[in-house]
């Protein structure tokens, strides 16, 4: 017998609520217990108990407190049996005191609050973890995705992902990272690491949202959801707002970014009528609200640049002088050769292709990007603008041979082939 | 049963000189591969498919007596390179051969089939449940 639609939607609402509460409860329990692994097991059991009980008993008045107490009780049970084990090995005088040593201050007054989600994010995105590990852990612990879902998103077997997550938890334990909000001195660096992990998660999903990899675009949605969550916790932080706006303004173009054959469509050839106006409006509102407040950062600037692109209903309406100015500020702030590359494109759009090509010369002596396929791809583009077909073709081909992305290789080879065809007058 | 279909490319740059093809020929080839993968996915037969980066920087690695890697290559003079592979889960060897034959007919210059050599190997499996 199938459930009625009303029961279905009640179950779905409970699932949604549990996903929202899970990181808060996990954060609170881990903060108290200082053991990620044990805390996660306990919270998992509390979530399962809620998922089975709530649909019939109804959602309790304080669902977060309910989950927290069930998880803590579970931890206490584990501690008791651990204690019993130790007892068999040597007698311990006071049980209560002993439990206290196994479960430090478990009985103190603590109530889960929103800071706990923040603590959890700071821990999962700790600079001691490699970015791929931090992404997986964040999706698991804060995003509430199952290990299977994360494995599918990263195209690896589930057992591999389970090990990666487990190793991450071990290295958190080994490096004695405290489950707490970072000190003021550390705060900027640690928040930067959180934003970087969310940004990489978004890119992982966005850059591959085509064809067989369609399921990976869920990663972009998840990154947006987590960044919204972070913004609700830190509403006054300009860079958090900037990152959210950047994601929204980029994601707005997702449907226009790939063709029916999974091929890449660059910004200047996209069908702008399929851009998501709601996302653009929201992104622009965030940018306009944040920029005037001062303390500009790289995410805000990138969001501002994305906003200028998204505001142009036709590609020829793009306000390139403004984009060039924004890249100028961004370049002064970030020392990133990819920014210099983009600035060269903007310079070409404002002052002609030779202005852009001149700017690229300096990059040939920058070891971080010299010989990189993107440098060739941009040179191809600028020589094409300048009408030098032969040079453009050579650079597009050189770029195509070195990119590691198949859609990008197809795009670059196609670009070169089109120019050759034009040269033959076809 | 699972099979690995290994697509070999003749030239040193690993792409049949697709760099030099016309725009239409290139489009036809890309669409062909895209449709093939879509059909295999729809049939529930595709396990995974990967294209390999051009072999220009490929290395042959062996361990020295301390187990440290010793690299050799690249080998630009080699005639053939593995350009990509599919792993498919199919009901019979014949079906795997059929898919390989379809890969082989991917269009090249002038829309003519390239007749790519595709090596078909069965993937070994877990011991039978008894």
Do A98 and A9 share a structural domain? yes
- Rounded Cα–Cα distance for residues A319 and A334 (Å): 23
Any A CB within 8 A of B26 CB? yes
Show the domains of chain B with their CATH numbers: 9-122 (3.30.70.1060)
Do A48 and A10 share a structural domain? yes
| C-beta neighbour count of A143 within 10 angstroms | 22
CA-closest candidate to residue A71, choices A101, A110, A100: A110
B54–A421 C-beta distance less than 8 A: no
At B129, the pLDDT band (50, 70, 90 cuts) reads low
pLDDT in the model for residue A332:
92
A63 within some domain: yes
Do A120 and A87 share a structural domain? no
pLDDT in the model for residue A210:
40
Q: What are phi and psi of A423, to 5 degrees?
A: -60, -30
Q: Which of A210, A227, A261 is the last residue of a domain?
A: A210
Look at chain A and report how many structural domains it folds into: 3
pLDDT in the model for residue A108:
43
Q: Which of residues 81-120 of B touch A (CB under 8 A)?
A: none
Residues of chain B positioned with their CB less than 8 A from the CB of A413: 18-19, 21, 26
Residues 6+ apart with CB under 8 A from A184: none
Residues 6+ apart with CB under 8 A from A311: A280, A284, A319
Do A83 and A60 share a structural domain? yes
Q: Which two tokens stand for residue A59?
A: 């959602």
Q: What are phi and psi of B83, to 5 degrees?
A: -100, -25
Do A132 and A96 share a structural domain? no
Question: With the C-alpha atoms ordered B108, B109, B115, B116, is the resulting torsion angle positive or negative?
Answer: negative
Do A168 and A203 share a structural domain? yes
Residues of chain A positioned with their CB less than 8 A from the CB of B21: 413, 417
B51–A406 C-beta distance less than 8 A: yes
pLDDT in the model for residue B103:
95
Any A CB within 8 A of B34 CB? yes
Q: Does the interface predicted TM-score (ipTM) exceed 0.90? A: no
Do A77 and A122 share a structural domain? no
pLDDT in the model for residue A217:
63
A70 within some domain: yes
CA-closest candidate to residue A70, choices A20, A28, A124: A28
A79 within some domain: yes
Q: How distant is the Cα of B92 from the closest Cα of chain A, in angstroms?
A: 24
Any B CB within 8 A of A211 CB? yes
Do A135 and A97 share a structural domain? no
Q: Which of residues 394-413 of A touch B (CB under 8 A)?
A: 397, 400-402, 404, 406, 410, 413
- Rounded Cα–Cα distance for residues A383 and A395 (Å): 9
User: Chain A to chain B, count of Cβ pairs less than 8 Å apart?
Assistant: 47
Do A130 and A55 share a structural domain? no
Q: Which domain holds residue A388?
A: 371-426
Any A CB within 8 A of B47 CB? no
pLDDT in the model for residue A209:
41
A281 within some domain: no
Residues of chain B positioned with their CB less than 8 A from the CB of A425: none
A320 within some domain: no
Q: How distant is the Cα of B56 from the closest Cα of chain A, in angstroms?
A: 9
Do A198 and A135 share a structural domain? yes
A155–B37 C-beta distance less than 8 A: no
Any B CB within 8 A of A263 CB? yes
Q: Which of A180, A210, A240 is the last residue of a domain?
A: A210
Question: With the C-alpha atoms ordered A230, A233, A235, A238, is the resulting torsion angle positive or negative?
Answer: negative
Higher pLDDT among residues B28 and B74, named by residue: B28
Residues of chain B positioned with their CB less than 8 A from the CB of A406: 51
A232 within some domain: no
Residues of chain A positioned with their CB less than 8 A from the CB of B53: 404
Q: Which of A68, A102, A136 is the last residue of a domain?
A: A102
Q: Which two tokens stand for residue B90?
A: 């199919």
Look-up of token digits 């983009």: A342
Q: What is the DSSP letter of B68?
A: -
Q: Could you give the strand order of the β-sheet that contains B81-89, starting from the edge strand earlier in sequence?
A: B46-51, B81-89, B2-9, B118-122
At B95, the pLDDT band (50, 70, 90 cuts) reads very high
Per-residue pLDDT of chain A (426 residues; tens, 9 = 90+): 445 666 678 888 888 888 888 888 998 888 888 888 888 889 989 999 999 999 888 899 889 889 999 999 998 888 788 777 776 665 555 555 555 454 444 444 445 566 788 888 999 998 888 888 899 999 988 888 888 888 887 778 888 889 988 888 888 888 877 788 888 888 888 999 999 999 989 988 876 644 445 456 678 888 999 999 999 989 999 999 999 999 999 999 988 988 877 778 889 999 999 999 999 999 999 999 998 887 889 999 999 999 999 999 999 999 999 999 999 999 999 888 999 999 999 999 999 999 999 999 999 999 888 888 999 999 999 999 999 999 999 999 999 888 877 888 889 999 999 999 888 875
B37–A212 C-beta distance less than 8 A: yes
A329 within some domain: no
CB B118 within 8 A of CB B100: yes
Any B CB within 8 A of A420 CB? yes
A308 within some domain: no
pLDDT in the model for residue A156:
80
């Amino acid at each position: 017998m199938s459930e009625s639609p009303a029961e279905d939607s009640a179950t779905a609402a409970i699932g949604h609520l549990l996903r929202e509460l899970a990181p808060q409860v996990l954060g609170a329990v881990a903060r108290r217990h200082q053991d990620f692994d044990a805390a996660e097991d306990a919270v998992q059991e509390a979530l399962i108990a809620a998922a089975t009980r709530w649909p019939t008993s109804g959602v309790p008045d304080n669902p977060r407190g309910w989950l927290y107490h069930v998880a803590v009780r579970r931890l206490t049970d584990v501690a008791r049996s651990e204690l019993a084990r130790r007892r068999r090995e040597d007698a311990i005088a006071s049980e209560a005191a002993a439990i206290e040593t196994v479960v430090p201050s478990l009985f103190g007054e603590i109530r889960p609050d929103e800071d706990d989600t923040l603590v959890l994010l700071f821990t999962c995105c700790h600079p001691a973890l490699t970015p791929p590990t931090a992404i997986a852990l964040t999706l698991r612990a804060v995003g509430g995705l199952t290990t299977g879902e994360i494995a599918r998103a990263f195209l690896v077997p589930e057992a591999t992902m389970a090990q990666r997550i487990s190793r991450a938890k071990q290295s958190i334990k080994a490096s004695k990272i405290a489950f707490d909000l970072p000190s003021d001195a550390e705060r900027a660096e640690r928040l930067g690491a959180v934003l970087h992990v969310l940004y990489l998660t978004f890119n992982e999903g966005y850059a591959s949202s085509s064809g067989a990899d369609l399921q990976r675009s869920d990663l972009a949605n998840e990154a947006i959801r987590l960044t919204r969550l972070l913004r609700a916790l830190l509403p006054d932080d300009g860079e958090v707002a900037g990152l959210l706006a950047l994601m929204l303004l980029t994601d707005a173009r997702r449907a226009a970014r790939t063709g029916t054959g999974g091929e890449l469509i660059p910004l200047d050839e996209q069908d702008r009528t399929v851009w998501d106006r709601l996302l653009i409006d929201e992104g622009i509102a965030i940018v306009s609200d944040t920029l005037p407040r001062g303390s500009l950062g790289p995410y805000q600037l990138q969001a501002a640049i994305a906003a200028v692109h998204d505001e142009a209903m036709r590609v020829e309406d793009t306000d390139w002088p403004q984009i060039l100015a924004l890249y100028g500020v961004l370049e002064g702030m970030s020392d990133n050769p990819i920014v210099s590359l983009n600035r060269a494109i903007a310079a070409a759009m404002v002052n002609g292709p030779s202005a852009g090509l001149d700017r690229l010369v300096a990059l040939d002596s920058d070891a971080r990007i010299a010989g990189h396929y993107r440098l060739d791809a941009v040179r191809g583009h600028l020589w094409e603008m300048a009408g030098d077909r032969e040079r453009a073709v050579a650079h597009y081909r050189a770029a195509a041979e070195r990119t590691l992305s198949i859609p990008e290789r197809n795009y670059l080879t196609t670009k070169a082939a089109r120019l050759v065809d034009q040269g033959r007058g076809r | 049963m699972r099979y690995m279909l290994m697509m070999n490319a003749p030239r040193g740059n690993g792409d049949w000189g697709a760099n030099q093809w016309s725009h239409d020929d290139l489009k036809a080839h890309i669409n062909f591969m895209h449709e093939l993968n879509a059909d295999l996915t729809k049939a529930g037969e595709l396990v995974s498919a990967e294209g390999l980066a051009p072999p220009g920087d490929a290395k042959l690695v062996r361990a020295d007596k301390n187990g440290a890697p010793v690299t050799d290559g690249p080998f630009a003079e080699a005639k053939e390179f593995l350009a990509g592979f599919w792993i498919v889960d199919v009901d019979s060897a014949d079906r795997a051969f059929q898919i390989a034959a379809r890969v082989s007919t991917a269009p090249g210059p002038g829309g003519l089939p390239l007749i790519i050599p595709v090596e078909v190997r069965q993937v070994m499996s877990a011991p039978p449940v008894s």
